[in-house]
Structure formats: C-alpha cells, structure tokens
Amino acid sequence: MNDDIKIMIELQGFWDNVLASRAGIEKARETERSLEKDLADGNRRLASLGNTVKELKNSTKQNELDLKEKEERISKLEERKKIIHTEKELKALEKEIDVIRFDIGALEEKGLAVYDELDARQTEYAELEEAVGVMGARLNETKTKHAGEIADFENTIKTNESAFNSLVGSLAVQHKSRFLKLIQSKDGKGIARVDGEICGFCNRKIPASLAIDSGKDEKVVTCSNCGKFIYR
Ligand SMILES: [Zn+2]
C-alpha cells in the first residue's frame, strides 16, 4: 500500500473519532435543550393556570360579597314592612324583595359554577406542579449524567486532534490540501476502500483500470464519481 494512503487511513481514523465525539456532544446538548424547553413550557402553563385560579378565587369572593349585600338589603326591606301603612306600599315592597330574591338565586347558581371551576383548576394546578417538578429533576439528572459523557467526548476529541495534527505533517504536500478539504466536507470522509470495482463511499462502480491502480503501491488515486481518495 502507498505510504500516503496509509497515512490518510490513519488520519481518517482520528478524524472519525473527532466527528463521532462532536456528534455525541451535540446529541447530549440537544436532549438538554429539549428538556429545558419542556420545563419552560410547563412553567409557563403553571403560571397561566395560577392566574386563572387567582381570578376564580377573586370571583368567588366577589360573589359572596354580592350575596351578602343582597341579603342585607332584604333584611332592611323586611324591617320596613313593619312600618308600612298602605296595601299599595306593601305590594311595591314585596315586589322589590322578589326581584332581589331572584338575583340571589342567580348569584348562588353562578357561585356554584365558579366554585366547581375553581376546584377543577386547583386539581389541575397541583397535578401540573408535580409534573413540572419531575421535569426539573429529570433535567438535572440528565445534565449530571451528560457532564461526565461530554468530558469523555472532549478528551477523545483532544487526543485524536492532537494525534491527527502530529501525523498530518507526514502527508505528501501534493495530497494534503485535497485530503484536508475532503474531510472538512459535510460527510467528513477523505478516503474510502474499494471493494471489487465499487467505491466504498459512494457505492458506485469505478473503471476497472482505476480499481487496479487503487491497489498499487506507487499510485494515489481518487474515485471518478465522488472524488474521495481510494485504496484496496
Ligand atoms: Zn466514490
């Protein structure tokens, strides 16, 4: 095998380790971001639900005050009944009392509905609060676990980058910039093994003569389809 090809294979190995570790770190961070987003959403919903509960409590209080006021008004009217002289005045008074009693009925009905709603929302709040607590704990556990993993990945990156940098100087100048450009591409591959006449990177057939050259010690060749360096 050609010496430069040997060096490229070794460099590719270091580079693959760097890329795999970078991907591992990114995956861990993505998981954390997703958990953080869920937690923030949960807290937002909790705050909104908390406001609803507060409003319903105020509404219940107001309803009680309104009821009290109406009851007091009826008591006063009942008192006035005792000092009334004419039938006409009495009828007017009783009519007024009837109207207030009707209002009281409506207020009581409304009060019950608000109370039921408050009860349901409070239960919902307690459940959500617990769920948000679980989310927070899970995020912390995940971060602790990831901190160790990320440190390991960073070590792997450092070791392999250092090995890569020490070796890359040995690569012949006429191949170096092309190889570096290839591994900097999105797929991160600079070199691929040829199997028969099939390029191991693009999986396409290459000319038979190129396939033969890819096995020669004195040759450094690239795939006619994908442009990666090839060897066999
Ligand atoms: Zn190819």
pLDDT tens digits, one per residue of 83-139: 988 999 999 999 999 999 999 999 999 999 999 999 999 999 999 999 999 999 999
For residue 131, the enclosing domain spans 3-169
Calculate Rg over the CA atoms of the chain.
Answer: 40
Residues 54, 23 share a domain: yes
Residues 149, 183 share a domain: no
Question: Which residue, 120, 146, 169, sits at the end of a domain?
Answer: 169
pLDDT tens digits, one per residue of 150-203: 999 999 999 999 999 999 999 999 999 999 999 999 999 999 999 999 999 999
Q: What is the CATH number of the domain that holds 32?
A: 1.10.287.1490
Residues 220, 153 share a domain: no
Question: Which residue, 136, 169, 202, sits at the end of a domain?
Answer: 169
Residues 56, 159 share a domain: yes
Q: Which residues of 8-47 are buried (b: 16+ CB within 10 A; e: fewer)?
A: bbbbbebbebbbebeebbeebeeeeeebeeebeebeeebe
Q: Which residues contact 157 (CB under 8 A, 6 or more apart)?
A: 17, 18, 21, 22
Residues 121, 89 share a domain: yes
Number of structural domains the chain divides into: 2
Residues 187, 164 share a domain: no
Centre of ligand 1 to C-alpha 46, Å, is 55
Residues 159, 84 share a domain: yes
Residues 17, 105 share a domain: yes
Centre of ligand 1 to C-alpha 192, Å, is 7
Question: Which residue, 118, 145, 169, sits at the end of a domain?
Answer: 169
Residues, Cβ < 5 Å to ion ligand 1: 199, 201-202, 223, 225-226
Centre of ligand 1 to C-alpha 199, Å, is 5
pLDDT tens digits, one per residue of 35-55: 999 999 999 999 999 999 999
